[in-house]
Structure 1
Amino acid sequence: MYGAPCWVSLSTRDLPAAEEFYHAVLGWEWRVGKLGEQYRFASVNGVPVAGVSAVEAMGQTAVAWTPFFAVCSADETVARSQERGGTTAVGPISFPPGRAALLADRDGAVFGIWEGELVSGWEEWRRAAPVFVRLHTRHAFEAAIFYGEVLGWESAESGCCEVDYENEEVVLRSQGDVVARIHSGAVEAAPDPAIRPRWQIHFAVADVPACVRAARAHGGSAEYTGEGTEAAVLTDPDGARFFVSPRPAASPRPAA
């Protein structure tokens, strides 16, 4: 699973408001962990699924959702990113039981890396809060080369991710699951940050219309994407955007 998304984290200016909003919209429960009062862990049925940090605790980073990718070595990953034109915003710094860094690719899209034991097991995390991430970037193929070299996609080591090209998108799979997509079309210097290069977080939910209603009722906004599905883009009260889409039906198991 090295190179795959392993965690998602939100930076916000108002932790209590974020807790209330995401509890109402996604049903998350909250607790304080080893990282202190400025970081909250969200859980589903007792399984940690996401983190929320106060902006002050993360070096005044922008209000946004950020995906974190599992790596063998944070130091080596940061070095590979810098060698290929990426930048480092934070770290690597220690967060026992691991180390983390916040980076940006050559087009400015922000992502995180994590070295160490996962907060919850990868498969358990995927089941508790089905999520995939999509990079909206200037050129999907060039971005795939950057991330492939930095995160070790398609390497010969056991547990690494596989990359395919489908319908003009780069598709990343881990253990057969689609965990990320890279899509061309972002405008690097666009005045609207919603169309600049960025990573988007997509949560699979049981009831998209219910999430839309809850977001609007608790100080956020929501609109359907118009992509021929029930998917919607939601914005929390602090301005962080994320996507919700229908949870796929479980695939039937073959008869014995």
Structure 2
Amino acid sequence: MTEHRSVASAAGATTSREIVGAPCWASLLTHDLTAAESFYSAVFGWTFRPASLGEDFRVALHEGKPVAGIGALASALRVPAAWTPYFAVEDADETAARIRERSATVAVGPLRFPVGRGALAADRDGAVFGIWEGQLISDWHSWRADAPVWLRLRSPDAFESAIFYGQVLDWACERPGCCEVGYEDDEVVLRQQGKVLARLGSGGVGGAPDPADLPRWDVYFTVTDPDATVDAALRHGGSVVRHGDREKSTTTLCDSQGSMFTVTAR
């Protein structure tokens, strides 16, 4: 979610206030931190270092650059092991109140951490997401430019979802640094300064027997060789959930503890 630096880089955003509403991190809550580190190290070549959020958190690095976070808190928070995107907010309490006012759920928090405050929520269709108020990785713009992670919401109604998230996260509010909302290829597209940050598409089905069909935020990781990544996942206890776009070699997987994520060509 965050990585503390005493001196912020001049080019990078340092707080959630500067990029309000934008996806700012992706984090895995898992039951077994050691097993998760072993799996993702083998599949993506990630290394890990301690995070400033506490001893139960790690920052995953690829070629020395931050990619995502992993925390061993799923059992303590009584939530399923899962990958979750976090969105930057100016005030976690105010955003949590907006979520509740719109008949959605704040499941955990806002909780205080050494460098900020966060909460886990679910929209009205059950898609889980996080909010974060506070310090970001100091090189956030570099993280976004490298695009190690991008997001797609699978929703029963992409337009209704866009209205919900727009109201909750201040999308298209015309404030400096806010996100722009557009439409292309039958999807709502979230951009910031022209850069695509996320897509919202219809297709999630509430109550679907297959978890892959439920409304959810799908976390994508870009890789240079998707086929090799899938093979590595299978060798280390993962499983294939669904093959997607063949042209982009997109595959949805489960890790060794059942958390879904998607790999796609860089």
TM superposition score normalised by structure 2: 0.88
Larger displacement relative to structure 2 (40-49 or 180-189): 40-49
Alpha-carbon distance change, 59 to 231 in structure 1, aligned in 2, over 3 angstroms: same
User: Where does residue 166 of structure 1 map in the other structure?
Assistant: 184
Q: Which runs of no fewer than 5 residues in structure 2 stay unpaired?
A: 1-18
Query: Which residue matches 2:82?
Result: 64
* Runs of 4+ deviating beyond 3 Å: 55-58
CA distance in 2, matches of 1:96, 1:2: 20
Asked if the contact 2:151–2:218 (Cα under 8 Å) also holds between the matched residues in 1, the reply is yes
1:245 has 2:264 as partner: yes
In the alignment, is residue 214 of structure 1 matched against residue 236 of structure 2?
Answer: no
**CA RMSD of the aligned region, Å?**
1.6
Using the TM superposition, give the Cα deviation of residue 36 of structure 1 relative to its aligned residue in structure 2, in angstroms: 2.8
Preserved contact between residue 49 and residue 128 of structure 1 (Cα < 8 Å): no
Query: For this pair of structures, how many residues does the alignment match?
Result: 247
Mapped to 2, the partners of 1:58 and 1:165 lie a distance apart of: 39
**Candidates 200, 203, 207, aligned match of 1:182:** 200
Distance in structure 2 (CA, Å) of the matches to 1:160 and 1:243: 27
Matched, 1:151 2:173: no
Q: How far apart, CA to CA, are the structure 1 residues paired with 2:62 and 2:192?
A: 22
The reply to whether residue 49 of structure 1 matches residue 63 of structure 2 is no
Aligned residue number for residue 252 of structure 1? none
Unaligned runs of 5+ in 1: 248-256
After TM superposition, the score normalised by the length of structure 1 is: 0.91
Would the aligned equivalents of 2:22 and 2:88 in 1 still touch at CA under 8 Å? Answer: yes
Distance (whole Å) between structure 1 residues aligned to residue 147 and residue 42 of structure 2 = 15
Further displaced range: 29-38 or 220-229: 220-229
Q: 1:186 to 1:215 in 2, by over 3 A?
A: same
Q: Which amino acid aligns with 1:106?
A: R
Partner of 1:251: none
Query: Structure 1's 129 and 165: CA in aligned 2 closer, same or farther, altered over 3 A?
Result: closer
Q: Specify whether residues 229 and 56 from structure 1 end up closer, same or farther in structure 2 by C-alpha distance, changes over 3 A only.
A: closer
Q: Tell me, in whole angstroms, the C-alpha distance in 2 between the residues paired with 1:67 and 1:78.
A: 16
CA contact (8 A) 1:153 1:163 kept: yes
Q: Give me the whole-angstrom Cα distance separating, in 1, the residues matched to 2:182 and 2:167.
A: 15
Which residue in 2 is equivalent to 1:118? Answer: 136
Larger mean CA deviation between 169-178 and 50-59 belongs to 50-59
Q: Is the 8 A contact 1:47 1:120 kept in 2?
A: no
Q: CA deviation at 1:72?
A: 1.0
Counterpart residue identity of residue 37, structure 1: E
Following superposition, the deviation at residue 11 of structure 1 comes to 1.3
Q: What do the CA deviations read for 1:131-180 (whole angstroms, capped 9, x no partner)?
A: 11011011100000000000000002100000011121100011211111
Distance 1:47 1:184, change over 3 A: same
Whole-angstrom CA distance in 2 between matches of 1:232 and 1:190:
20
Contact preservation (8 Å) 1:47, 1:124 = no
**Distance (whole Å) between structure 2 residues aligned to residue 118 and residue 35 of structure 1:** 12
Instruction: Give how far 1:226 is off.
Output: 4.4
- Paired with 2:193 and 2:76, the residues of 1 have a C-alpha distance of 32
Residue equivalent to 2:121 = 103
Residue 11 of structure 1 corresponds to which residue in structure 2?
A: 29
Q: CA deviation at 1:192?
A: 1.8
Is the contact made by 1:97 and 1:117 (CA closer than 8 Å) also made in structure 2? yes
Given that 2:250 and 2:265 are in contact with CA atoms closer than 8 Å, whether structure 1 keeps it comes out as yes
